[in-house]
């Protein structure tokens, strides 16, 4: 019998093809694995932005989605750069400066109001003082 010398990857007389079955399973798993890796790669900027609670999270998501659908990698690179670097916070120092100037202005206005208003008379100072009597005189 010659069937003992035939390699196992060739189809058998019953129609089974182990090589075709193995390659079909490997191809399906490879396509699913590469597709999953591709989607995971495109979601890296979004994951970075979500982990850092980034302010421009929606912009990063839109750029990553545009890169996914248009296959323009520049959108993905921009999304990655926006997610990786935080924009400088210009608003907090300006708000602090504005608050300091407002409190300084209140203090200056209060000082000007004190200078412009005449001093109010002290009620204790306005009471008549008893005159000193010479010694030796008795008070009747």
Residue 140 located in a structural domain: no
pLDDT at 37 over 90: yes
Residue 108 located in a structural domain: no
Higher pLDDT, 9 or 66: 66
- Which tens digits make up the pLDDT trace of 70-104? 988 899 899 989 888 877 778 888 889 999 988 88
The tally of CA atoms less than 13 A away on the side-chain side of residue 67 is 22
Look up the domain containing 57 and give its range. 16-85
Place of tokens 């409190």: 103
pLDDT at 31 over 90: yes
**pLDDT score of 11:** 79
d(CA 75, CA 70): 9
Residue 34 located in a structural domain: yes
Residue 137 located in a structural domain: no
Residue 5 located in a structural domain: no
- Please state the domain count of the chain: 1
83, with CB counted inside 10 A (0-12, 13-18, 19+), is buried
Please write down the long-range contacts of 46-52, taking CB distance under 8 Å and 24 or more positions apart.
46/79, 46/83, 48/80, 48/83, 48/84, 49/82, 49/83, 52/83, 52/86
Residue 79 located in a structural domain: yes
Residue 58 located in a structural domain: yes
pLDDT level of residue 26 (50, 70, 90 thresholds): very high
Full-model pTM: 0.49
**pLDDT score of 25:** 97
Residue 9 located in a structural domain: no
């Amino acid at each position: 019998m010659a069937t003992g010398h035939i390699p196992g990857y060739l189809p058998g007389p019953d129609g089974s093809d182990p090589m075709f079955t193995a390659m079909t399973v490997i191809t399906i798993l490879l396509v699913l694995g590469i597709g999953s890796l591709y989607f995971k790669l495109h979601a890296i900027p979004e994951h970075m932005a979500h982990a850092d609670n980034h302010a421009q999270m929606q912009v990063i998501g839109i750029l990553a989605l545009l890169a996914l659908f248009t296959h323009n990698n520049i959108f993905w690179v921009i999304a990655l750069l926006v997610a990786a670097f935080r924009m400088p916070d210009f608003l907090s120092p300006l708000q602090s400066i504005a608050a300091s100037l407002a409190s300084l202005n209140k203090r200056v206005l209060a000082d000007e109001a004190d200078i412009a208003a005449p001093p109010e008379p002290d009620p204790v100072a306005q009471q008549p003082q008893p005159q000193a009597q010479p010694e030796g005189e008795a008070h009747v």
